[in-house]
Amino acid sequence: MKVETKNQRLTTFTNAELIKKILEFKKNKNVVILAHFYQIPEIQDIADYVGDSLGLAQNASKADVNMIVFAGVHFMAETAKILNPDTKVVIPDLEAGCSLADSCPKDKFSDFKSKYPDYKVISYINCTADIKTMSDVICTSGNAVKLVESFPKEEKIIFAPDKNLGGYINSVTGRSMVLWDGTCEVHDILSTEAIINLKVKNPEAKLIAHPECRAPVLELADYVGSTTGMLKYTMQDNSKKYIVATETGLLHQMRKNCPEKEFIVVPADETCSCNDCPYMKMNTLEKLYLCMKNENPEIILPENVIEQAKKPIIRMLDISKKLNLIK
């Protein structure tokens, strides 16, 4: 079930004043603001780096600052902390979780894993630090297919927690990974009916989709990829119109990069056109300002969790570098 995002005013500052104050913190404090594409446009525009989970993890691994301000959801900020245990990592709203990460509790996953003793575990980065400690390697939507393909064909693999992404990888690689039964509440409800209606009305438009969508949606898509992948596709492709099956935040970058093109976001169903991730949208300019001012809420993790969770993330970054997916 979707959580409602009720963001009440926390200060008396206008947005223009908040932006000015955040820019001052950026100048006076040794910080970096990392933001995901699903953040509100005002946060994306003030960040030092905006990207997908892979780009954010890579930038977090390179950060040489006193404080990382992570404008995203909890698992992303946790990843930044794991990669920078000695750096303070703050997040505008500590409650900004993720339905996919929540769908995979550590005790249940541990029981599940024990049923497949000789299997490798590949976990999507949208999982808690505890799940990362139980994984052999982490992947993101930006490297998942290639990362799975880097394992021998006969390797037995558990893929967690997103069954839609896992099913998509199985379909394109011919693997039969065992899938944990988790989904993203935003992408999982994007309807094929709505897409077909949009395609009928806009026959010239291309459909691009995030692999967290269900298989029938992905089968209709002209392109399936991470947020960065979708953005690059619209920048390089010569169509003028796109039907976009993902969270609304990405359209901000698409419109900025290609103002002459038209982007239509897929409605979740006939009655709702808001594909906002309720967790991503918990972060506001006010909360961003307050977390930079107060230097909290801070991400705190036990040392042993950091040590164990770091290994599969580093393995992912190493493999991604070898495969030229990142520099």
What is the C-alpha to C-alpha distance for residues 93 and 286, in angstroms, rounded to an integer? 10
Is the Cβ of residue 263 or residue 279 nearer to ligand SF4 in the bound state? 279
Our finding on whether 184 is near ligand SF4 (CB under 6 A) is yes
Our finding on whether 143 is near ligand 13P (CB under 6 A) is no
Residues 262-321 that bind ligand 13P (CB under 6 A): none
Among residues 99, 141, 170, 253, which is the contact residue for ligand 13P, using CB under 6 A?
Answer: 141
Handedness of CA 94, 97, 103, 104 (dihedral sign): negative
Our finding on whether 123 is near ligand 13P (CB under 6 A) is no
Our finding on whether 326 is near ligand 13P (CB under 6 A) is no
Q: Which two tokens stand for residue 279?
A: 């967790």
| Three-point CA angle 248, 232, 199, nearest 5° | 55
Q: Which long-range contacts (CB under 8 A, 24 or more apart) does 229-235 make?
A: 229/52, 229/141, 229/142, 230/254, 231/37, 231/257, 233/208, 234/208, 234/258, 234/261, 234/263
268 binds, among ligand SF4, ligand 13P, none (CB under 5 to 8 A by kind): none
Among residues 44, 103, 123, 126, which is the contact residue for ligand 13P, using CB under 6 A?
Answer: 126
Region of 82-90, 138-146, 172-180, 257-265 interacting with ligand 13P (CB under 6 A): 138-146
141 binds, among ligand SF4, ligand 13P, none (CB under 5 to 8 A by kind): ligand 13P
| Three-point CA angle 80, 86, 89, nearest 5° | 40
* Helix, strand, coil tally for the chain in percent (to 5): 45, 15, 40
Our finding on whether 52 is near ligand SF4 (CB under 6 A) is no
Q: How far is the CB of 256 from ligand 13P (least distance, A)?
A: 17
| Cβ–Cβ under 8 Å, residues 210 and 246 | yes
Among residues 43, 77, 129, 186, which is the contact residue for ligand SF4, using CB under 6 A?
Answer: 186
What residue ranges bind ligand SF4 (CB under 6 A)? 73, 98-100, 126, 184-186, 212, 247, 277, 279-280
